[in-house]
Every structure is written in structure tokens, then in C-alpha cells.
Amino acid sequence: MSRRLDGHTVVVTGASGGIGAAAARRLAGLGATVCLLARRDDELESVADAIRRAGGVAHTYVVDLSDPDDTDAVAARLLADHPRIDTLVNNAARSIRRPITASLERMHDYERTMAINYFGAVRLTLALVPRFLEQGRGHVVISSSMSTQLPIPLFSAYLASKSALESFTRSLVAELGSDGVSATTVYFPMVRTEMSGRTDIYQAMPMLSAERAAGWLVRAVVARPTRVTSLQGAAAEIGMATLPGTVTAGLRPVFRHMDRVLTRRSGVRPDAP
């Protein structure tokens, strides 16, 4: 994975911290011009400054991808600023951990999650597709979750949005693959980031570091495989394709036990949010 990216322009959303920032630094180190998108101006500039000090090229674009007008405006700026855009990394996301029974009167949880995880990513992708077709080449990377590969409780809003984005991306390649448009879905396991850190019991869970996870995104940009996943994720997909009922039933007690263990290790009260 040592291939250089000189002359390539890569757009990375959710680039102000965590996986996105780490991936942007590594992509710039390979010679790519990186366009950093996120809501937080100060953090975004900090990432860009670090890239520039290391000799890389970075441009910042402050945007709220859950806002359609804001997303359209930033897409127009990207297209105006960069004659060629090679790769879009749809990495920005929000996650909500809440039981379905606690969400019965919280439809807004699903709407807010879809707004950025699905609609924001799709809107930005659609804006760049004409440029990809004009170039005869363009690549879309989406950050997804191993949890879409098997039935996971408590994250119905988040996983539904990620599954929708995966389906859109498959259709994108089915329709435009012969015109040079390709895509990679990255199925991350749990990663230690600000987002996962909002759930107290997860402090006791072994997780992939943001730096290691960034390597998965870099591989997706450089090698352009159809997917980047773990052995466990691939095995889960096979299980769900062949014995979905058995796998789902078998995992229920596993997740209940895991939550009890993590709660005990973290010292968080069972009734704590």
C-alpha cells in the first residue's frame, strides 16, 4: 500500500478529528491534495495546519452536512476550486445508542441520524458524480460498521442509516461502474473515537485505534477494493446469508453478557445513560 497519490485530490468528510483526521494526514503524506470537511472550524484548521507543516497540501471547508443548502454550497465550492476530484471519502457520521423501546416517541433520533449519515453523504456524492463521469474516473469510499454485517441491538437508527448508504453505493457502482465510477465500503469494528467515547461502558471495551482505522480508509483510497472488512465481519455475513435466524438468536445472549461484563468493568451503574 505504498503507492503514491501525487496529483490526486481526495475529499474527506468528518475530517476534524478521529478516523477522518488521521486518514487525511496519511493521505496527504502519500502526496494527495486533501479537502477537509467538517463542522468545527478550529479543529479543522488544526488538522490542516499539521498537514501543511509536514509538507502536505490541505484545504478546509466548514460545512454542516445535515443541512441540504450548506451541503450544496460546499459541493459547488469544491467543484469550483478543484478541476479534478479523484476520491470522495464519506466518513462523517453520528451515532445514537438507544433501545427501540426507548425510541418510540423519538422519531427525531432516526431523522437526525439519517440527515448526516445518509442524506448528507448521498447529496455530496450526487454533486460530484458529474465530475467523475466527465473525468472517466472517480472513487467513493464510505465508512460503515461491522455491525451492519450482523444483527446488533441498541443502534437501530445508526445501523439503518449505514445500511441505506451501503445500498446506495452498491447501486452507484452497478449503474456507473462501466463509466469509471468505483466504490469501497469499509466495515469498521468498534473504534476508539470521540463518538464511541460518549458511551461510558465502552471505555472498558478493546477497540481499534483511530490511527489503525485510518489505515483502512487509506487502503480503500489507494487500492480501491470493493470492501475492507475483518475476518469476523466476513464470517458474520456468511452466517447471516445462510442461517440468519440461528445467528440472530445465538447472538442475543452474547450481547447481553457483553453488556453486563462491560458495565462491571467500567463501574457504570446499569441504569446510567
- Residues 6 or more apart in contact with residue 75 via CB below 8 angstroms: 123, 124, 127, 128
Instruction: Kindly list the distances between the CA atom of residue 224 and the CA atoms of 14, 43, 134, 164, in Å, as whole numbers in the listed order.
Output: 20, 28, 20, 21
Q: What is the pLDDT of residues 119-138, one digit of tens each?
A: 999 999 999 999 999 999 99
Give the dihedral of Cα atoms 113, 117, 123, 128; nearest 10 deg.
Answer: 170
Give yes or no for residue 199 having a pLDDT over 90.
no
Q: Report which residue type is found at 195.
A: M
**Predicted pLDDT of residue 144:** 96
Q: What percent of the chain has pLDDT over 70?
A: 88
- Alpha-carbon distance of 59 to 77, in angstroms, equals 11
Helices 156-176 + 107-114 axis angle, to 10 = 30
Vertex 65: Cα angle to 64 and 66 (nearest 5): 90
**pLDDT mean across residues, the chain:** 91
pTM reported for the whole predicted model: 0.89
Q: Which residues pair with 138 in a beta bridge?
A: 181
Give yes or no for residue 203 having a pLDDT over 80.
no
**Predicted pLDDT of residue 256:** 79
Q: What's the grid cell of residue 99?
A: 433501545
Q: What is the pLDDT of residues 214-261, one digit of tens each?
A: 999 999 999 999 999 999 999 999 999 999 999 899 888 877 777 676
Q: Which residues pair with 143 in a beta bridge?
A: 186
Domains and CATH numbers, the chain: 9-266 (3.40.50.720)
- Alpha-carbon distance of 107 to 191, in angstroms, equals 27
Q: What is the pLDDT of residues 18-62, one digit of tens each?
A: 999 999 999 999 999 999 999 999 999 999 999 999 999 999 999
- Alpha-carbon distance of 144 to 165, in angstroms, equals 8
Vertex 34: Cα angle to 140 and 42 (nearest 5): 115
Query: SS3 of 8, please?
Result: coil
For residue 158, indicate whether it is catalytic: yes
Q: What is the pLDDT of residues 68-87, one digit of tens each?
A: 999 999 999 999 999 999 99
**Residue in 164, 146, 104 with CA at minimum distance from that of residue 251:** 146
- Alpha-carbon distance of 114 to 94, in angstroms, equals 9
Band (200; pLDDT cuts 50, 70, 90):
low
DSSP state string for 190-208? -EESHHHHTSGGGGGS--E
Q: Are 87 and 5 in contact (CB under 8 A)?
A: no
Catalytic residue among 61, 118, 158, 187: 158
Which class for 249: exposed (0-12), middle (13-18), buried (19 or more C-beta within 10 A)?
A: exposed
